[in-house]
Amino acid sequence: VPALEHNNEVKGESLDLIKYIDSHFEGPSLFPDDPAKKQFADELLSYIDSFYKTVTSSFNGEGTEAGIAFDNIETALTKFEDGPFFLGQFSLVDIAYAPFIERFNPFLLDVKKYDITLGRPKLATWIEEMNKNEGYTQTRCDPKEIVESYKKRFMVI
Q: What is the pLDDT of residues 9-45, one digit of tens each?
A: 888 777 788 888 888 888 888 888 899 999 999 999 9
* Statement to judge: residues 77 and 141 lie in one domain: yes
3-state secondary structure the chain: CCCEEECCEEECCHHHHHHHHHHHCCCCCCCCCCHHHHHHHHHHHHHHHHHHHHHHHCCCCCCHHHHHHHHHHHHHCCCCCCCCECEEECCHHHHHHHHHHHHHHHHHHHHHCCCCCCCCHHHHHHHHHHCCCHHHHCCCCCHHHHHHHHHHHHHCC
* Whether residue 51 is found in the same domain as residue 15: no
Same domain, 51 and 120: yes
The structure's pTM equals 0.87
Q: Domain check: are 81 and 149 in the same one?
A: yes
User: Over 90: is that where the pLDDT of 155 sits?
Assistant: no
Residue 156, pLDDT score:
57
- Co-location of 51 and 128 in the same domain: yes
User: Are residues 91 and 20 part of one domain?
Assistant: no
Question: What CATH number does residue 61 fall under?
Answer: 1.20.1050.10
| Tens digits of residue pLDDT in 47-91 | 999 999 999 998 877 656 899 999 999 999 999 999 999 999 999
Domain identity same for 119 and 87: yes
Q: Are residues 21 and 55 in the same domain?
A: no
If one counts the domains in the chain, the total is 2
Q: Is residue 131 domain-shared with residue 57, that is, in the same domain?
A: yes
pLDDT of residue 44: 97
- Together in a domain, 118 and 65: yes
Based on the fold, state whether residues 46 and 13 are members of the same structural domain: no
Domain identity same for 19 and 80: no
Tell me the residue range of the domain where 25 lies: 1-30
